[in-house]
Structure 1
Amino acid sequence: MIIWAWGIGTLVLATLLIVVGVKPLLRWIWRFCTKWVIGLVLLFLLNRYGQAYGWYVPVNPVTTGIAGILGIPGTIALVYLYDRSSY
């Protein structure tokens, strides 16, 4: 089963490299990773200093991606969603 996943992943990556090119694909991957790290830092700061107000957002790839791509408004939306889900 795992060999099929590797094969499909390799095929998708090869297709992207042919269609898009190496340099734009690497630039896109770099931007995505940078935004993911920014989201990680935002969630870390929120969880560190928001505990006084009862704010906590779990740190996982989905919430980190949302916080990184949407920035501070996305992080505020996550706080609102997780605060509302505790009722």
Structure 2
Amino acid sequence: MIWIWGAGTLIIAMLLFAIGVKPFVRWVWRFCMKWVIGLALLFILNRYGQAYGWYVPMNPVTTGVAGILGIPGTIALVYLYKGSSY
């Protein structure tokens, strides 16, 4: 089992050297910023949507969906969680 971790680490290291570290760091930065934006969207939704009965739990999956898909993704999460409470 340990050889799988070693092979994975070797593959990631080879990709970093082939592609370059700068594009990888740029991609990670973009992903983290989208995650923070999703967290802000869910915070605003949970803060002001309680009057309408809207609540979406803030966890890494829902935050990532809200961040990557933006406002339409947040609306879809509200629809999914509102529909599951019946």
Q: Do both share a fold (TM > 0.5)?
A: yes
Total equivalences in the alignment: 86
Residue number in structure 2 paired with 1:24: 23
- Mapping of 1:23-42 within 5 angstroms? 23-42=22-41
Residue number in structure 2 paired with 1:71: 70
The residue type equivalent to 1:50 in the other structure is G
- CA offsets per residue over residues 18-72 of structure 1, 9 Å max, x none? 2321111010000000000000000011011100000000111110000000000
Change (3 A) 1:52 1:70: same
The TM-score normalised by the length of structure 1 is 0.87
The residue type equivalent to 1:15 in the other structure is M
Residue number in structure 1 paired with 2:42: 43
- CA offsets per residue over residues 1-25 of structure 1, 9 Å max, x none? 7x66764553343133023211110
Structure 1 Cα separation of the partners of residues 85 and 61 of structure 2: 19
Kept in 2: contact 1:40–1:68 (CA 8 A): yes
Kept in 2: contact 1:38–1:68 (CA 8 A): yes
Residue number in structure 2 paired with 1:56: 55
Change (3 A) 1:84 1:5: farther
Unaligned runs of 5+ in 1: none
Structure 2 Cα separation of the partners of residues 25 and 74 of structure 1: 25
Structure 2 Cα separation of the partners of residues 59 and 17 of structure 1: 32
Unaligned runs of 5+ in 2: none
